[in-house]
Chains A and B, each alone.
Chain A
């Protein structure tokens, strides 16, 4: 759906997206990373379990909520990738306590 124009000057970081290691240019948001990795949806809704993906990319729609480093409900479009970051598609409301890996 999306691709990233090559920019050789920028260093990359390694994140773990749904269990897969991914190299991403520094300064990329989690949402941009997910879209370029071909993730078609980034959460399911708590109301009807429908699939959703980033919509506004500027932090106002809250549709890109993902689980990041064990914490649910993080706006993927307002979170920047960091080395070792663990990012997961969020199911419904997400787990309040995460999977314990955030501690």
Chain B
């Protein structure tokens, strides 16, 4: 590993892989750092090693990753899997952990392609063993062929819930129920966005096919569900929910939930890039221009880490970011960059036709985002409840950071990744202000916990 690269790419998902492939075709020195042992990101996790049967069951969207990864493998980028990035700053220096050793490397241009994570949404009992995120279930399936053995309840809202259910019935998993919390009002509110979504009708068709297959498989989907509770003494035993005014209970030892995905912004936050609240996507994302340039010169973002637009769009955004990096490095003229980007940008826009509709249709209601159940744990690490957060707001602490200082909410090992979004919503709700005004937790390096032993290996002189 060199101490300096012309382009450093953080993240081996579709955006990072596509950017590396484009950028290295012009002979620059480029490294791609990724935490996983193989390229593909979470969306195409284990795409190279997944047996054919498994890939088939996961569907065509998953298999699309094979070409993308194969192209990346042919390119000249220095690829460093199993590498954790724990720091990024405005001087374009990156702190990494590789083989249990820390190192600082620098670059002329840095592309942060950090991808998305599940939106963590606190509800009663969500910390019980047996409650997991739907993405976790899908990762288990993709990476290890691991599927539920004794039935599963799926709950929440969003396309991933439907896709995972479909993937599960492909291998005979017993889905006890799908509890869809999408409010009926969303169906109407999203209607004006439908005409544009029809331009990307293949996504809509796919959704309808999944739904039809699930119905044919006899899976019971409850629409308009509310008040989901995971119950059990110290392990999940049952799921309780309200449906058309009546309370129901399903016994299960596994509940997978999904409430959409949000950008993973811990690195751009720590670097000091400007972020904004995206009210349609209900999350913070780094501000960026049409090339992915952030407010810090030399730091570019692409893919879901820049704002949620899906895997195919991420791939195109990665290509655009690659071209932008080549321009910034003086290798492409503005005219060459623009010319090479025309088709890519068009394809990217085509992919995005579906997004406003999806964002509106699957918008999570405020009553779920800002739980009013005061006993519900919001910060999973420090075990801080919604009640404690509301109390802090009542005592005059009207920003997420103030609440963090007061309560230790967000100060555990996950560093706020699991509670930042929920705290913002609760602070806004309790204080009667807009979420955009609550401010996001300030990120500080190291953005992932490091042991002193790992940090002590830090030496810039190491070649």
A36 at the interface (CB under 8 A from B): yes
Cα separation A2 to B137 with both chains bound (whole Å): 10
B135 at the interface (CB under 8 A from A): yes
Choice from A27, A35, A41, A51 contacting B140 with Cβ under 8 Å: A35
Do A27 and B144 touch across chains, with their CB atoms under 8 A apart?
yes
B380 / chain A contacts, CB cutoff of 8 Å: 52, 55, 61, 63
Nearest CB of A to B259, in Å = 13
Interface size class, chain B: 35 or more
Cα separation A50 to B382 with both chains bound (whole Å): 12
Do A62 and B414 touch across chains, with their CB atoms under 8 A apart?
yes
* CB-CB contacts below 8 Å: A18-46 with B: 25, 27-29, 32, 35-36, 40-42, 45
Residue interface mask B399-419, A partner, CB < 8 A = 1: 000000000000011100110
Interface size class, chain A: 35 or more
Do B51 and A7 touch across chains, with their CB atoms under 8 A apart?
yes
A5 and B132 in contact, given A59-B35, A62-B412 (Cβ under 8 angstroms): no
Nearest CB of B to A5, in Å = 4
Do B413 and A65 touch across chains, with their CB atoms under 8 A apart?
yes
Can you name the residue of chain A whose Cβ is closest to the Cβ of B49? A27
Do A4 and B144 touch across chains, with their CB atoms under 8 A apart?
yes
B129 at the interface (CB under 8 A from A): yes
Residue interface mask A50-68, B partner, CB < 8 A = 1: 1111111111111101000
Do A1 and B150 touch across chains, with their CB atoms under 8 A apart?
yes
Cα separation A103 to B120 with both chains bound (whole Å): 38
Residues of A within 8 A of B (CB): 1-5, 7, 9, 25, 27-29, 32, 35-36, 40-42, 45, 47-48, 50-63, 65, 73, 77-78, 80
Top 8 closest pairs, chain A to chain B, by CB? A53-B129, A57-B136, A3-B149, A5-B145, A62-B413, A32-B144, A41-B129, A57-B139
